[in-house]
Amino acid sequence: MPMIWWLRKLIQSPTGLIGFIIILTVIFSSVFAPFIVPFDPNQADRPNRLRPPGTPGHIFGTDQQGRDLFSRVLFGSRISIFVGLVTVIIAGTIGTVVGLFSGYFGHWLDSVIMRLVDVWLSFPFILLALIINAILGMGLRNVVITLIITGWVIFARLVRGEVLALKNRDYILAAKALGQSELKIIFFHILPNVFTPIIIISSLQISQIIIAEATISFLGFGVQPPTAAWGNMLSDGRNFLFNAWWMATFPGLALAFTALGLNLFGDWLRDTLDPKITK
């Protein structure tokens, strides 16, 4: 489908367009953060601590160490976007491969993998993530690993379901009759046909992952201060609720804004790519 077709579809949908613009804004500000921000996000400025929004030079105010909140929020978007993208790409790839094999070969392999998925899904997502993070240790890299370990199952289950519906289609049977290898059938004939649901679920999963990272960091695990991440900024903000409302407000707004954009765009993508699904 040509680019122009996509653009026309996008303009026809106000919510999809809003989502797309939000995502572009967040990506733009995260990529160009070092050029936009007025201050070093980690530069403490004690005399100017807890200044309210609108203070000259500090549009969002400053935090308990006098650091510029606007700069920190902007730099925080880098962590969120990085974690969201990297996690979904790796977890999506692992889940897809597992789902393809599980669905295609079936039998004991499928039973074993699906029981594993059941067990995984019987723990609340966020709790499992907290435990794995506590075992692995804190820090950005370990948050990504944690979210990959918890996130792949969604993809595996989705892809497996799609493969089950596809594997007895005539064109697959024809490919088998022609003597093509199993691997070739899986990756050249089945995989291209499960791409659409993978893309749709990925776009919706990114916002889940970003919120999960913020939640983990908020609870004291994950990305640690002084690195500016929305989750640990909110954790700081909560401790200063009585004297600095802005510290908890702006990072959260940025987080909700990003999640909203991703969800709107994901919904639009689903409606556009898969007309069978009604909203």
* 35/242 with CB nearer another protein: 242
Q: Is the dihedral of CA 235, 240, 242, 243 positive or negative?
A: negative
Q: What are the residue ranges of helices labelled H in 61-177?
A: 69-105, 107-121, 125-136, 140-166, 170-177
Q: Is 221 in the site for another protein (CB under 8 A)?
A: yes
Scanning the structure block, which residue is given the tokens 């689903």?
270
What's the CA gap between 211 and 202, in Å, rounded?
14
Is 68 one of the binding residues for another protein (CB under 8 A)? Answer: no
* Minimum CB distance to another protein smaller for 44 or for 126: 126
Please say which residue, 60 or 221, places its beta carbon nearer to another protein: 221
Q: Distance of alpha carbon 104 from its chain centroid, rounded?
A: 28
Instruction: Give whichever of 52 and 220 is closer to another protein, judged by the CB atom.
Output: 220
Q: How many CB atoms lie within 10 A of CB 260?
A: 14
Options 82-90, 148-156, 187-195, 260-268: segment touching another protein (CB under 8 A): 260-268
In 3D space, the residue among 192, 19, 198 whose CA is nearest the CA of residue 9 turns out to be 19
* 96 near another protein (CB under 8 A): no
List binders of another protein among 119-158 (CB under 8 A). 119, 122-127, 130-132, 134-135
Q: Judge residue 162's burial from the number of C-beta atoms within 10 Å of its C-beta, 0-12 exposed, 13-18 middle, 19 or more buried.
A: buried
Smallest distance, Å, CB 106 to another protein? 18
- Minimum CB distance to another protein, residue 258 (Å): 8
Structure tokens at 166: 């596809």
> Interface with another protein includes 218 (CB under 8 A)?
yes
3-state helix, strand, coil in the chain (%, to 5): 75, 0, 25
Of 24 and 174, nearer to another protein (C-beta) is 24
| DSSP-assigned letter for residue 58 | B
- In the chain the first and final C-alpha atoms are separated, in Å, by 23
Question: Which CB sits closer to another protein, 191 or 204?
Answer: 204
Distance CA 22, CA 71 (A): 19
Instruction: Pick between residue 7 and residue 119 the one whose CB is nearest to another protein.
Output: 119
**Are 265 and 23 a contacting pair, CB within 8 Å?**
yes
Interface with another protein includes 12 (CB under 8 A)?
A: no
Q: Which of residues 157-216 bind another protein (CB under 8 A)?
A: 207, 211, 214-215
- Residue of 234, 70, 196, 92 whose CA lies nearest to 153: 92
Which of 237, 265, 268, 269 touches another protein by CB under 8 A?
237
Nearest approach, Cβ of residue 111 and another protein (Å): 10
20 or 221: whose CB is closer to another protein?
A: 221
- Total number of residues that touch another protein (CB under 8 A): 42
Contact set with another protein (CB under 8 A): 15, 115-116, 118-119, 122-127, 130-132, 134-135, 207, 211, 214-215, 218-221, 234, 237-238, 241-242, 245, 248-249, 252, 255-256, 259-260, 263-264, 267, 278-279
